[in-house]
Structure 1
Amino acid sequence: MSDESTASIQTREENPNVDASDVDEISTSNTMRERAGETRVKTWVVLDGSRLLVTGMMALLIFGVFVFGGTFFYQHYLTDALTADTVETVFSTMIAAIITGVTLVLTISQIVISQENGPLGDQHERMSSTMDFREYTKELTGSPVPADPSKFLRALILESKDYATNLRDSVADNDNETFRGEVAEFTDSLVENADAAADRLKGRKFGSYTVVAAGLDYNYSWKIFQVERIVDEYADDISDETLTVFNDLKTILSIFGPARQHIKTLYFEWELISLSQNILYLSVPALIVAGFITTYFGGSAITGESLGVPNLIWMTASGFAVTSLPFLLLISYIARLATIAKRTLAVGPFILRDSQR
């Protein structure tokens, strides 16, 4: 039996109220994707991929489905298009949908922008709270707090890594082998996770998802819980010096939580404004295409074939894909923001994911 297994069994015997998973899974994977058990493809589509590229891929999917379906499945499409004004009906409906969608997005933008407005007293209070937080962080780290969000998060992560290293050194001569083993496993996991997250944050600029992604990879909640659990279970074996290091590590991890939440909130506002701008840009060509097809092209106006496919199908498929772009862009942005919001609902040592509960 390995030392790690022996340590886990001894700990459970000493404290039967501790769940076995809390002991056996001290170390965790270094990325949010691995901890959640998601595939690379799903993670790229929902989170990592460029929103414009994902939107384009969905538009190509719609285009392909229309061409394939109209050519091989719906053999009566050409007849209906010639006799029932199908093309005009579809694209006149798209015009109404585009206008409604743009209005909705503009409303969202106004709500986001209104969050930044307020009387002078409220603005002063926000500024004071921010400066107090920065001063407190400066006292903990011993150096000025970076102004760049990615550097700020990176500084906190590296600071927690230093405390973890100090913690491992402080228990090196402890007589309790089980205690040393759990601290070693915990600190090794923290250092590895910190290095991975810090590398992803290095040189990143705010506004890109990579800054938030690296912050999400650093699961500070689990680390706070492990600090509290180890201190509680081995209270009799912990010296005052080691306890101080434990408390310092817990404090810096606790600072990382609200810091990440604040940067996430700023990122949400940034993305929603970017979404509004991009939808406004896409809505103009989408309206032009829908209006042009409705006004100047009827089912009888498009004849002939290209590559074995009726030109009418090429026209309706491409037109519908283009007019769907504003809605598809909205889907791609909301998918990312909703996923991030779901995975960061709790602040502090609360684990909501089934994969690590």
Structure 2
Amino acid sequence: MGEERTGSTIGSESGLLRWILLDGNRFLVTAGILAASGLVLSALTAMDVIAFTNENSMNRLANGMVAGTFSVVTIVITINQLILSRQFASAGELRDRLAGVMELREDIARKADIHASPAEPTALLGVVMEAVEHRATRLGETVTEDDDEQSRELTEYAAAVSEAAECAHKRLENADFGTFHAVSLTIDYDDSQQIYAGRYLQREHAEGIDEETDEALDDLLETLQLFNVARSHFKTTYMERELSRLSRLITSLGIPAILAAVTIGLLYGDIRGLTISPAVAPTVIILLILVVLSPLALLSAFVLRSATVSRRTASIGPMVPSKETEEGSAAVTDTTEH
């Protein structure tokens, strides 16, 4: 496998970009979007690029903002209806869901050799990561010390998976409680590539792998699959709660936004033109525009996070759509930042 190893992360961002997409408080991101919009409008006004003096133009703008706000609220209400539709189910369907969750928890407890799996998301995924680390270490111990290609590839694979799982486990141990933190801290963990690489090595060296190594590799792959399912379960739970929260907030902001848009039109309702001093009109109108934009800014902040989470965890199992794995090789570059 040369200088390349099984990757542990995909598409990682750092610094400001990651804060905006994932880690930042959504209300702070929304405030940042509105502040940037306000600065742009103020700068354009100061440079005389735009003006708020033409009554017909401002009335058209106000009408457009009212219609746009209604559209945003309607879209969010539709999303909320889709979420609610998942909550309605027959008793049999609800029992099947519960049975699936309980079976997953029992499988995790068995793999982790504990009496019961934790209820808290970060602790549960931490337990799975610890189990992955132990099984990767065990796989490395079962590989013979022969200086051949098979032994080197299996040893490198086990070491890479163990290192990646150890880093993920440490992050989860120091994390805050909560479903999003559990998903966020493992969003870059490349379990799909690890499963693919493990299956590839298992079939590539099927005749040369002894029974103990083959069982250890199977055990590791099963544990990685449990992690994949558990993270997907928490991702679904997070997305449902996040979108429900978003719909409530957007609906709450909808009325102030519509009132602000109507107020812009009414400022030009007097037959003599503006009802307020032209000197303060730009500041007042820009503030009203920001109120109108607040539902869209909030929607953008939430969608940025939801879309990033969905994109990073889109694959289930050994499907690696974001990588171009070299034909005949199970290796990808390790992009983990330590």
Q: TM-score, normalised by structure 2?
A: 0.86
One-letter amino acid of the structure 1 residue matched with residue 285 of structure 2: T
Q: Which of 3, 27, 30 in structure 2 is aligned with 1:52? A: 27
In structure 1, the partner of 2:18 is: 43
Structure 2: where are the runs of 5+ without partners? 327-338
Q: CA separation in 2, counterparts of 1:129 and 1:184? A: 35
Q: Which of 228, 240, 244 in structure 2 is aligned with 1:273? A: 244
In structure 2, the partner of 1:25 is: 4
One-letter amino acid of the structure 2 residue matched with residue 178 of structure 1: E
In structure 1, the partner of 2:128 is: 156
Q: CA deviation at 1:245?
A: 0.7
- Does the residue aligned with 1:204 lie in a helix, a strand or coil? coil
Q: CA separation in 2, counterparts of 1:356 and 1:43? A: 26
Q: CA deviation at 1:207?
A: 4.2
Higher helix residue share? 1
Q: CA separation in 2, counterparts of 1:234 and 1:354? A: 23
Contact 1:221 1:348 in 2 (8 A): yes
Q: Which of 262, 265, 278 in structure 2 is aligned with 1:294? A: 265
Q: CA deviation at 1:93?
A: 2.7
In structure 2, the partner of 1:334 is: 303
Question: How do residues 242-253 of structure 1 correspond to structure 2 at under 5 angstroms?
Answer: 242-253=213-224
In structure 2, the partner of 1:118 is: 89
Contact 1:91 1:320 in 2 (8 A): no
Deviations 1:179-199 (A, max 9, x none): 333233222222221122222
Q: Identity of paired residues, percent?
A: 27
Q: CA separation in 2, counterparts of 1:288 and 1:251? A: 56
Deviations 1:25-49 (A, max 9, x none): 3232x54344xxx564333322332
One-letter amino acid of the structure 1 residue matched with residue 6 of structure 2: S
Q: CA separation in 2, counterparts of 1:325 and 1:207? A: 26
Instruction: Provide closer, same or farther for how the CA distance between residues 355 and 60 of structure 1 changes in structure 2, counting only shifts above 3 A.
Output: farther
Q: CA deviation at 1:121?
A: 1.6
Q: CA separation in 2, counterparts of 1:185 and 1:318? A: 59
Q: CA separation in 2, counterparts of 1:188 and 1:246? A: 13
Question: How do residues 1-357 of structure 1 correspond to structure 2 at under 5 angstroms?
Answer: 8=2, 24-28=3-7, 30-34=8-12, 38=13, 40-74=15-49, 77-78=51-52, 81=53, 83-143=54-114, 144-171=116-143, 173-202=144-173, 203-208=175-180, 210-296=181-267, 300-303=274-277, 305=279, 311-354=280-323
Q: CA deviation at 1:302?
A: 3.2
Deviations 1:158-203 (A, max 9, x none): 10100011111222x4324433332332222222211222223234
Deviations 1:233-286 (A, max 9, x none): 333442211111111001111111222111111111011011112212322332
In structure 1, the partner of 2:336 is: none
One-letter amino acid of the structure 2 residue matched with residue 47 of structure 1: L
Q: Which of structure 1's runs of 4+ aligned residues deviate more than 6 A?
A: none
Instruction: Provide closer, same or farther for how the CA distance between residues 354 and 132 of structure 1 changes in structure 2, counting only shifts above 3 A.
Output: closer
Q: CA separation in 1, counterparts of 2:196 and 2:246? A: 37
Q: CA separation in 2, counterparts of 1:236 and 1:100? A: 62
Contact 1:207 1:271 in 2 (8 A): no
Q: CA separation in 1, counterparts of 2:207 and 2:320? A: 28
Q: CA separation in 2, counterparts of 1:33 and 1:293? A: 43
- Does the residue aligned with 1:32 lie in a helix, a strand or coil? coil
Structure 1: where are the runs of 5+ without partners? 1-6, 9-23, 306-310
Equivalenced residue count is 321
Q: CA separation in 2, counterparts of 1:139 and 1:304? A: 73
One-letter amino acid of the structure 2 residue matched with residue 25 of structure 1: E
Q: CA separation in 2, counterparts of 1:99 and 1:231? A: 56
Q: CA separation in 2, counterparts of 1:146 and 1:280? A: 36
- Does the residue aligned with 2:178 lie in a helix, a strand or coil? coil
- Does the residue aligned with 2:186 lie in a helix, a strand or coil? helix
Q: CA separation in 1, counterparts of 2:241 and 2:148? A: 50
Contact 2:122 2:179 in 1 (8 A): no
Identify which of structures 1 and 2 has the higher relative contact order when contacts are C-alpha pairs closer than 8 Å and 6+ apart.
2
Q: CA separation in 1, counterparts of 2:220 and 2:100? A: 23
Contact 2:41 2:286 in 1 (8 A): yes
Instruction: Provide closer, same or farther for how the CA distance between residues 264 and 189 of structure 1 changes in structure 2, counting only shifts above 3 A.
Output: same
Instruction: Provide closer, same or farther for how the CA distance between residues 33 and 42 of structure 1 changes in structure 2, counting only shifts above 3 A.
Output: same
Instruction: Provide closer, same or farther for how the CA distance between residues 248 and 265 of structure 1 changes in structure 2, counting only shifts above 3 A.
Output: same
Q: CA separation in 2, counterparts of 1:124 and 1:74? A: 62
